[in-house]
Amino acid sequence: METQMKLSEAARSSVTNLSESSFIKACRREQTSVTPVWLMRQAGRFMPEYREIRAKVGFLELCKTPALATEVTVMAQEMLGVDAAIIFADILLPLEPMGMALEFTKGDGPQIHNPIRQASDVDALKNVDAKESLSFVLEAITMTRGALKANIPLIGFAGAPFTLASYMIEGGSSRNFEKTKAFMYTQPQAWHKLMNHLANVTHAYLNCQIEAGAQVVQLFDSWVGALGQSDYKEYVLPHMKAVFAGIKPGVPAIHFGTGTAALLKLMRQAGGTVIGVDWRIDLDKAWSDIGYDIAVQGNLDPCVLFATGKEIRTRVQDILKQAAGREGFIFNLGHGILPGTPVDNVKYLVECVHELGQR
């Protein structure tokens, strides 16, 4: 208890040292002296140090061990020199407390052994008390906030309702989302009940992360690009609005999805302080569509990190040119760092952004 109190004090006191963070300033569209950069999956399989830890513990065990989650989170930020840390966790962690049988299998990724098939399955979902059932994530956030340098913001995150619902219905990954869309179209009442449940769980969970010490939160809607605009409006938009409306006021919230070039304007309507952009659309076009009065994050193709240093530098220059020195730009990849990515290339990317992004 004494240790937790000390860590909580460290989390609170660190907030006062973040006023000059370029990342926080960019989230709020304030002027920065340099373009901030952080990278999705910056703590992951591309790092030898991470693989050494994973050789000893399973993925879920790592997520559920606060000291180890803290170690990999801080290690990645310090090794890469990025302007923010993101807590090591997984978007699917809230599913277990709901009653979903979640397993991470080697090579196949997450598997859910009791997928949702009918309205009664939705009715059977349990409410989630994040402080109790996801306490390991919250403890990791508090520990990490205490271990990070005081001027480095910590990002908390959660999966967006559509992406979580898709996992719950498909039972794992999917290419075409046949089961998800069939459920959505044929059982709309059950669908909206499920999405409402997930929206409530998600914003409550994010608020707990903020209370534990996260300065920024991100919503990952990794699969929402599978939808067209009309389906997004009817089946997703109201629930995303509910999530963002429920997040503690004043805390920057990043809204990210992949394959969303056609959905960016709707995502803007849904909410978020920052809109994350993937690599399938030019940054200047995306920002124009979204509106220059909101911050954006993106959007280098992760595969560029397998190229030469010259190519990496050229691509960074191109994205910065498209950002045109506007306030509110955060450099990131268009999705997460891929396994097998050369560590030196990731470090070089960060160096290029800091060098070329001077203002």
Point out the residues that are catalytic.
Answer: 41, 45, 54, 90, 167
**3-class SS letters over the chain:** CHHHHHHHHHHHHHHHHCCCCHHHHHHCCCCCCECCECCCCCCCCCCHHHHHHHCCCCHHHHHCCHHHHHHHHHHHHHHHCCCCEECCCCCCCCHHHHCCCEEEECCCEEEECCCCCCHHHHHCCCCCCHHHHCHHHHHHHHHHHHHCCCCCCEEEEEECHHHHHHHHHHCCCCCCCHHHHHHHHHCHHHHHHHHHHHHHHHHHHHHHHHHHCCCEEEEEECCHHHCCHHHHHHHCHHHHHHHHHHCCCCCCEEEEECCCCCCHHHHHHHCCCEEECCCCCCHHHHHHHHCCCCEEEEEECHHHHHCCHHHHHHHHHHHHHHHCCCCCEEEEECCCCCCCCCHHHHHHHHHHHHHHCEC
Beta strand 102-105 with 109-112 is antiparallel
Query: 129: which 2 tokens?
Result: 């008390």
